[in-house]
């Protein structure tokens, strides 16, 4: 039985007026009007979304706001260590949100140290308490879970805490935590089941290692930690563990931050080395043994060289695996209805309107093949999909040039091609790489007494080259990809270049970069990429100009129930952008 809805379906006129500037003849001509008028009473729901994370929730909420009967199924299968969490998926529970808060915790520690140079006299030795931090973070995550549930209720989205699996066309089985099964039907389905951390498949990995699924709620300080992997998750976690004063080793199988600009990746690594992080390059673990139980215990890791026969051993309290993530597409009955899945990656190939090989089944977020695995991308794709399916809108998600930030101690933001990729696409002779070292006011200027220069190279297409993106194309891409800039003001991301136009939907990162860019005063006709590394900018430099997005995590932690205001601000802005 469908779950009873508290709101009446909105009339076509209302939802059309609210959501779309299309006029009726145009809508009729394009076929949108007919689509809008099609309602199928034979199904329990107009839309069932499997997976209540970033992409699934945005799609479900938007569809409900357009007057549709919508259900979301979300169930977290506990990690091998037994960790599970609430609604809203990876970002809120075991991804961006707790990650950013831990990053902030580490930066605060650094600020405390720096503060002495600014005249603060701390009488006692400062030390960090892991339990206090994780408790506060989990409290904040819990408040977000509740606010997401409240939002679903208010928008009349039926939320079911069950695991969804297709059993036949248009029909799913929902199995709750107690094993009770219920069946639901819908006219359309969206798969937004995301990914879960991968394991090494070696002896001792599932028994003794943890992943990011366990890390942010770890009830004890992990002690000396081996981080396996060298991409975003690995380097971010290694960075803030070192910032909290722990002994950290990173095991790198080949290169750092594959796919990112390697010049910048090495800058990130060298700043981490300065913080005391040890890198073991070109090694992979082959066995993990437990030497002592405990919280934390003691583990021995045997690793072999990827280039020769060398075997090394190391002792650690904790081993954190961050070696990539597997799509959750294997156990959801896709084969029963014929949805094609890439056998190798587990990802779902979709067309440019997120439609799978089965026309009434769509996919958004991390499960989609070949697209960035980022929250703002999932959110925007989900929202635009709902608008196209039920709101008469035509805008598609543009996945190109989504700006991103790696939250390592030296924060690295980028948008567009890595220099290596730009060379591959445009050839070296057509590119001009501009490097800008812009001095910024940092406490370390006082500490080291030297100009702490921040290098920010630009990769720029030549003016006369016909294939470079135009400035306006880049801007359009950025607007379509959405934003996720709810972070504190000392971070900046490469999203723009200096110019006489305003930043679209700017948050702090954009604001920060814009300021950086302006201080460089480069005439920059058509950049194909912007990359920027930035350690702490004095908060006063970047805050207050971002359009009211000045909340910082510590404030949010203190607020408890507080909705992160910045998320709302940014969503409102990107909505504004796409409606324009």
Beta-bridge mates of residue 160:
73
Q: H helices of 66-174, where?
A: 89-94, 96-115, 130-154
Site for ligand FAD in 364-403 (CB under 6 A): 365-366, 373-376, 378
Residues 441-480 that bind ligand FAD (CB under 6 A): none
Residues 414 and 427: their CA atoms lie apart, in Å, by 20
Q: How far apart are CA 516 and CA 491, in angstroms?
A: 11
SS3 528: strand
Is residue 400 within the footprint of ligand NAP (CB under 6 A)? Answer: no
Q: Note whether 235 binds ligand FAD by CB under 6 A.
A: no
x-or-dash pattern for ligand FAD, window 17-56, by CB under 6 A? ---------------------------------xxxxxxx
Tokens standing for residue 331? 């156990």
Applying CB under 6 A, does 164 fall inside the site for ligand FAD? yes
Q: Which is nearer to ligand FAD, 33 or 350 (CB)?
A: 350
Kindly state whether residue 512 participates in binding ligand FAD, applying the rule CB under 6 A: no
Three-state secondary structure call for residue 305: strand
Q: Is 162 in the site for ligand NAP (CB under 6 A)?
A: no
Among 228, 288, 332, 530, binds ligand NAP (CB under 6 A): 228
Q: Is 230 in the site for ligand NAP (CB under 6 A)?
A: yes
CB 125 within 8 A of CB 113: no
* Residue 484 is a binding residue for ligand FAD (CB under 6 A): yes
Residue 415's φ and ψ, nearest 5 degrees, are -150, 135
Residue nearest to ligand NAP (CB): 231
In the three-class reduction of DSSP (H, G, I as helix; E, B as strand; rest coil), residue 29 is classed as helix
Q: Is 172 in the site for ligand FAD (CB under 6 A)?
A: no
Residues 179-208 touching ligand NAP, rule: CB under 6 A, are: 200
Which token pair is 182? 């219920």
Which residues are within 8 A (CB) of 311 and not within 5 positions of it... i.e. 6 or more apart? 286, 302, 303, 304, 305
Name the DSSP letter for residue 355: B
Contact flag: residue 382 with ligand NAP (CB under 6 A) = no
Please choose which of ligand NAP, ligand FAD, none residue 231 contacts, taking the beta carbon within 5 to 8 angstroms, the exact cut-off set by kind: ligand NAP
Q: Considering only residues 47, 60, 141, 233, which one is a binding residue for ligand NAP as defined by CB under 6 A?
A: 233
d(CA 447, CA 408): 21
With binding defined as CB under 6 A, does residue 494 bind ligand FAD?
A: no
State which of residues 140, 267, 325, 515 lies at the interface with ligand NAP (CB under 6 A).
325
For 46, list phi and psi in degrees, rounded to 5.
Answer: -75, -35
570 is a site residue for ligand NAP (CB under 6 A): no
- Nearest approach in angstroms of CB 32 to ligand NAP is 33
CB nearer to ligand NAP: pick between 134 and 493: 493
Phi and psi based region of residue 535 (left: phi greater than 0; alpha: psi -120 to 50; beta: remaining) = beta
CB of 195 to ligand NAP, least distance (A): 7
Q: 203, exposed or middle or buried, with CB in 10 Å at 0-12, 13-18, 19+?
A: middle
Q: Which of residues 193-222 bind ligand FAD (CB under 6 A)?
A: 193-194, 212
Q: Which two tokens stand for residue 406?
A: 């790696």
CB of 174 or CB of 377, closer to ligand NAP: 377
Which of 356, 404 has the CB closer to ligand NAP? 404
Least gap, CB of 235 to ligand NAP (angstroms): 8
Q: Closest by alpha carbon to 240, among 283, 79, 83, 232?
A: 232
Q: Is 321 an interacting residue with respect to ligand FAD (CB under 6 A)? A: no
Cβ 283 to ligand NAP, closest distance in Å?
Answer: 8
Q: Applying CB under 6 A, does 479 fall inside the site for ligand NAP?
A: no
Angle between helices 419-426 and 262-274 (to 10 degrees): 170
C-beta of residue 447 within 8 angstroms of C-beta of residue 114:
yes
Per CB under 6 A, 234 contacts ligand NAP: yes
* Residue-wise DSSP of 391-437: S---PPP--TT--EEE-SSSEEEEEE--HHHHHHHH-GGGEEEEEEE
Question: What does the block give as tokens for 89?
Answer: 């998926």
Q: Which of 284, 302, 433, 552 binds ligand NAP (CB under 6 A)?
A: 284
- Structure tokens belonging to residue 96: 């961006």
CA distance 243 to 234: 14
Q: Which of 45, 148, 159, 163 binds ligand FAD (CB under 6 A)?
A: 163
Residue with tokens 């990769």: 459
Q: Which does 254 bind (CB under 5 to 8 A by kind): ligand FAD, ligand NAP, none?
A: ligand NAP
CB atoms under 10 Å from CB of 455, counted, come to 14
Q: Residue 371's binding partner, choosing from ligand NAP, ligand FAD, none, with beta-carbon cut-off 5 to 8 A by kind?
A: none
H helix or E strand, kind and range, residue 17: helix 12-19
Which residue from 251, 252, 236, 242 is spatially nearest to 222, judged by alpha carbons? Answer: 242
192 is in the binding site of which of ligand NAP, ligand FAD, none (Cβ under 5 to 8 A by kind)? Answer: ligand FAD
Among 229, 314, 382, 564, binds ligand NAP (CB under 6 A): 229
Q: Choose which of 54, 162, 225, 231 interacts with ligand NAP (CB under 6 A).
A: 231
200 binds, among ligand FAD, ligand NAP, none (CB under 5 to 8 A by kind): ligand NAP
Looking only at residues 61 through 80 of this chain, which bind ligand NAP when binding is defined by CB under 6 A?
none
Residue window 340-369: x/- pattern of binding to ligand FAD, with contact defined by CB under 6 A: -------------------------xx---
- Look-up of token digits 């009873």: 4
Interface with ligand FAD by CB under 6 A: which residues?
50-56, 73-76, 89-91, 95-96, 99, 163-164, 192-194, 212, 233, 328, 332, 365-366, 373-376, 378, 484
Interface with ligand NAP by CB under 6 A: which residues?
200, 228-234, 236, 253-255, 258, 284, 322-325, 372-374, 404-407
């Amino acid at each position: 039985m469908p779950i009873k809805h508290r709101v009446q379906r909105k009339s076509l006129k209302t939802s059309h007026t609210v959501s779309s500037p299309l006029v009726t003849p145009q809508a009729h001509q394009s076929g949108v009007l007919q689509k809008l008028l099609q309602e199928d009473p034979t199904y329990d729901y107009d839309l069932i979304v499997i997976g209540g994370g970033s992409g699934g929730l945005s799609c479900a909420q938007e569809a409900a706001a357009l007057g549709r009967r919508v259900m979301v199924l979300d169930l977290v299968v506990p990690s091998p260590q037994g960790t599970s969490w609430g609604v809203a998926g990876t970002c809120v529970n075991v991804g961006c949100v707790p990650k950013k808060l831990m990053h902030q915790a580490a930066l605060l520690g650094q600020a405390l140290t720096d503060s002495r140079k600014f005249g603060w006299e701390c009488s006692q030795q400062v030390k960090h308490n892991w339990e206090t931090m994780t408790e506060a973070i989990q409290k904040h995550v819990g408040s977000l879970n509740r606010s997401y549930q409240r939002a679903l209720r208010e928008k009349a989205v039926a939320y079911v805490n069950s695991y969804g699996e297709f059993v036949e066309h248009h029909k799913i089985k929902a199995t709750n935590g107690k094993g009770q099964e219920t069946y639901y039907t819908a006219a359309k389905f969206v798969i937004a089941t995301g990914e879960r951390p991968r394991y090494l498949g070696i002896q001792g990995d599932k028994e003794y290692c943890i992943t990011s699924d366990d890390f942010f709620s770890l009830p004890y300080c992990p002690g000396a930690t081996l981080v396996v992997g060298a991409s975003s998750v690995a380097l971010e976690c290694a960075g803030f563990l070192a910032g909290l004063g722990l002994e950290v080793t990173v095991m790198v199988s080949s290169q750092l931050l594959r796919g990112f600009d390697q010049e910048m990746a090495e800058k990130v690594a060298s700043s981490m080395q300065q913080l005391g992080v040890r890198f073991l390059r070109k090694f992979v673990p082959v066995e993990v043994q437990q030497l002592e139980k405990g919280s934390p215990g003691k583990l021995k890791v045997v690793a072999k060289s990827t280039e020769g026969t060398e075997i090394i051993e190391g002792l650690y309290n904790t081993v954190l695996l961050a070696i990539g993530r597997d799509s959750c597409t294997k156990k959801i009955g896709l084969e029963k209805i014929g949805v094609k899945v890439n056998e190798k990656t587990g990802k779902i190939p979709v067309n440019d309107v997120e439609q799978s090989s089965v026309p009434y089944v769509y996919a958004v977020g991390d499960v989609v093949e070949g697209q960035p695995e980022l929250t703002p991308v999932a959110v925007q794709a989900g929202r635009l999909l709902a608008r196209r399916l039920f709101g008469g809108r035509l805008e598609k998600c543009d996945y190109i040039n989504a700006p991103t930030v790696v939250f390592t101690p030296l924060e690295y933001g980028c948008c567009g091609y890595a220099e290596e990729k730009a060379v591959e696409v445009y050839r070296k002779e057509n590119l001009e790489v501009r490097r800008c070292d812009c001095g910024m006011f940092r406490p370390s200027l006082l500490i080291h007494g030297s100009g702490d220069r921040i290098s920010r190279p630009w990769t720029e297409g030549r003016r006369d080259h016909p294939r470079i993106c135009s400035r306006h194309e880049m801007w359009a891409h950025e607007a379509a990809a959405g934003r996720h800039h709810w972070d504190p003001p000392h971070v900046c991301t490469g999203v723009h270049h200096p110019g006489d136009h305003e930043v679209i939907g700017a948050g702090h990162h954009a604001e920060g970069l814009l300021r950086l860019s302006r201080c460089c005063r480069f005439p920059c006709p058509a950049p194909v990429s912007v990359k920027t590394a930035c350690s702490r900018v004095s908060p006063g430099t970047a805050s207050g100009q971002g359009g009211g997005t000045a909340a910082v995590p510590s404030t949010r932690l203190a607020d408890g129930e507080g909705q992160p205001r910045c998320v709302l601000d940014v969503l409102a802005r990107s909505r504004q952008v796409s409606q324009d």
